[in-house]
Amino acid sequence: AGMALPTGKPKKTAPKSSCPLKSLNWSKIPDAKIDSTVWKDVDDGEIHQAMNFGEFDQLFSAYQKPTESAAAASEEKKKKEKPKELSVLDGTRAQNCTIFLNHFAKLKMSLADIKKAVLGLDEDTLDRNTLSQMLKFVPVADEISMMKTNEAELALFAKADRFLWEMNTVEHYQERVSCLHFKVVWAERVEELGPTVAAMIAATKELRDSNAFRKVLQIVLAFGNYMNRGARAGAYGFKMSSLNKVVDTKSSGANRRKTLLHYTVEFVDRENEKGGKRKIGDLEAELKDVPAAARVSLPELEKDLGTLRKGLGEIKKEL
């Protein structure tokens, strides 16, 4: 059998620059999807042929080195000039990171102090807001690669670049910060969710142990079996969610606004007035925690608990 022909587009190459250049932070479309976009017939090679690479490299160099004329300037002028900082970061990212680092400056923390706090998982120094910001400024491979080409001029790195460079030397930096952030959030979320979960548990126990509620279920079961025919008849029980149908079952009499729920309440009141063994009891007193639990959004609670479980799973995986 012959060899299989390669599939997909050939690897695209661009002319090599004479120096490291600033990056253009775009979102690259996967090669496999190009044919269904406007880019299908676009050939950037034609533009490369028309480019003045020397001019382009000088304009967009990651680090603007002095020109020959500047190098020949007087020694006195050189002393007055502050050396230009080197930055390979996107302008907005660099600015935001620099603003964030002012937080550590106010705490008089050096980069070494920050690294020590991360390595020591120091949640007294690294609070929730700080950790959230740190997760926004995790070093990425492209940035570090460009920094490495200028490692000899490390002293000229801009503040944001130097921060990312140093944090990149921390083993499992992103994982450490993520785990510590989750730990802080965990304590807060557990404290917030505690009363909600407690209300649900208390209400569940009340419903389980309430004789009055059991008698109400008995009444609804009797009504349902009396009303139903065919496959729905002869039930020994029903799902609790079916109780919602009681309010949807409306009277066909003169008062069409009356529902089976209204009738059930009336029936309970009559039985309580009669007394005897069919007396229902004080439903409200036996289910005092149910109203608070009824205000809880179960989907939201399940979502919050799911987030906590997922976070725990990620930490276990990392450990």
116 within 8 A of 170, measured Cβ to Cβ: no
Q: What pLDDT sits at residue 99?
A: 92
Segment 158-164 shows an average pLDDT of 90
25 within 8 A of 90, measured Cβ to Cβ: yes
Average per-residue pLDDT for the chain: 80
The Cα–Cα gap between 142 and 121 comes to 27
The Cα–Cα gap between 236 and 273 comes to 28
State the burial class of residue 126 (Cβ atoms within 10 Å of its Cβ: 0-12, 13-18, 19+).
buried
Give the rounded percent of residues in the chain with a pLDDT score beyond 70: 83
Write out pLDDT tens, residues 169-221: 888 888 888 888 888 887 778 888 888 888 899 999 998 888 888 888 888 89
Write out pLDDT tens, residues 257-315: 888 889 888 888 888 888 766 677 788 888 998 998 888 888 888 888 887 787 777 77
- Interior CA angle at 275 toward 271 and 281, to 5°? 70
Candidates 195, 191, 212, 228; CA nearest to 272 is: 212
Write out pLDDT tens, residues 33-59: 878 876 677 677 767 777 777 777 776
Segment 132-150 shows an average pLDDT of 87
